[in-house]
């Protein structure tokens, strides 16, 4: 096996083993998930990041395409304590550098103490610490990726026919496939739209609900989606997941901020402020809603740090979640969110919308 090197923003270089060759860079983050590695690796929200798995063995149940959330791997590189051959070969076929045989406990500790950081990776026969450092030097910050939506969104409208449920206009800022599947299971027809879709195009669809998806990076870089929410709030029921919650909050006068190391894993506890019940959730985000604005109520919070996990407005018909209710492989505590979205969309058929 060839050598590999991971250069960290703080100045250190960690030696590892090459499992898939290449040179890359990105924001180094970690997930605490111990299953669902196929789902994580194909999640568009990991675009421009280097994903570190805190669980020591990744790949122990193979690689199955039906578990993918998208058609390709999205992290720029992958780091683990040990990768099986199945996963390593898959990543190599995707052209994604991968390394293992390093102390991921120490690496996760550094991220927790210092926050998500830039890194550079050099892996393969010609790998060197210098190449890893050069890759690090070329690494932009996540907020610098102003066009990141174009890397993960559909290029044109794609419609998935459902049953007799509502028409959902899904703004694809990096949507996971299981969001579409969850809506189709509830008989909705889903129109997947580009991240920069215009108000006129949405008005032509006359949807029963406008849904803003998850996605990567800084919500401030999704100005078109934010403007779209501003255009239709109060006219069309609004839903959002993850990045979608952040975009909706910004459009309604709220603010967002970057977290130290984010929430990534399948074990994040969330408390509902009305029922006082706690559910376990899957999460993947590095930004959060700092202030929801005057028109949205915080209805759910993270047990660990009190960050906003759910925003709602009955008057405006807005319903958002910071976590992933559709999470695969689980937990499935919060799948009822999609029932609520469908109910919100079909409570009363609105008059046709029109863009200003």
Q: Is 246 annotated for ligand binding?
A: yes
287 among the known binding-site residues? yes
* Cα(6)–Cα(85) distance, integer angstroms: 21
Nearest to 34 by CA among 74, 80, 73: 80
Integer-rounded Cα Rg, in Å, for the chain is: 20
Which listed residue (25, 74, 285, 324) is catalytic? Answer: 324
- Phi/psi for 23 (5° steps) reads -125, 135
- 323 known ligand binder: no
Active site residue 25: no
Catalytically annotated residue among 27, 38, 39, 326:
326
Ligand-binding annotation for 200, yes or no, is no
Neighbours of 168 (CB within 10 A): 29
- Cα gap 340→263, rounded to integer Å: 24
- Is 242 marked active-site? yes
Q: Is 324 a catalytic residue?
A: yes
Residue 262 annotated as binding? no
Structure token pair of residue 167? 């028409």
* Residue ranges in 6-77 assigned as alpha helix (H): 37-41
Question: Rounded distance, CA 58 to CA 83, Å?
Answer: 5
Pick the catalytic residue from 18, 119, 173, 242.
Answer: 242
Q: CA geometry: angle at 306 spanning 246 and 108, to 5°?
A: 85
Do the annotations mark residue 245 as ligand-binding?
no
Q: Which residues make up each annotated binding site for L-glutamine?
A: 45, 215, 217, 243, 246, 284, 286-287
Catalytic residues, by residue number, are: 242, 324, 326
Q: Which residues make up each annotated binding site?
A: 45, 215, 217, 243, 246, 284, 286-287
């Amino acid at each position: 096996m060839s050598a590999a090197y991971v250069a960290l923003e703080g100045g250190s270089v960690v030696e590892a083993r090459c499992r898939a060759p290449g040179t890359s860079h990105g924001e180094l983050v970690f997930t605490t998930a111990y299953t669902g590695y196929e789902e994580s690796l194909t999640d568009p929200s990991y675009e421009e990041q280097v994903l570190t798995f805190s669980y020591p063995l990744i790949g122990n149940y193979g690689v199955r395409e039906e578990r993918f959330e998208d058609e390709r791997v999205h992290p720029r590189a992958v780091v683990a304590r040990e990768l099986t051959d199945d996963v390593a070969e898959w990543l190599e076929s995707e052209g994604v550098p991968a390394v293992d045989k390093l102390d991921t406990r120490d690496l996760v500790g550094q991220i927790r103490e210092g926050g998500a950081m830039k890194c550079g990776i050099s892996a393969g026969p010609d790998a060197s610490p210098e190449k890893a450092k050069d890759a690090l030097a070329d690494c932009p910050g996540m907020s610098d990726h102003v066009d990141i939506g174009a890397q993960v969104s559909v290029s044109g409208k794609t419609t998935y026919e459902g049953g007799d449920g509502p028409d959902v206009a899904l703004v694809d800022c990096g949507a996971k496939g299981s969001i579409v599947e969850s809506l189709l299971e509830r008989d909705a027809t889903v129109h997947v739209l580009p991240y920069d879709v215009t108000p006129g195009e949405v008005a032509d669809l006359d949807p029963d609900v406008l849904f803003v998806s998850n996605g990567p990076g800084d919500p401030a870089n999704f100005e078109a989606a934010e403007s779209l929410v501003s255009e239709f709030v109060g006219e069309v029921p609004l839903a959002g997941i993850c990045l979608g919650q952040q975009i909706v909050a910004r459009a309604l006068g709220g603010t967002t901020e970057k977290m130290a190391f984010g929430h990534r894993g399948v074990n994040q506890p969330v408390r509902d402020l009305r029922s006082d019940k706690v559910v376990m959730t899957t999460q993947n985000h590095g930004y959060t809603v700092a202030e929801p604005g005057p028109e949205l109520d915080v209805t759910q919070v993270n047990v660990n740090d009190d960050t906003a996990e759910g925003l709602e407005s009955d008057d405006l018909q807005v319903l958002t979640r910071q976590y992933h209710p559709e999470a695969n492989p689980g937990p499935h505590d919060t799948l009822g969110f999609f029932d609520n979205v469908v109910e919100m969309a079909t409570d009363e058929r609105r008059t046709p919308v029109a863009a200003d």
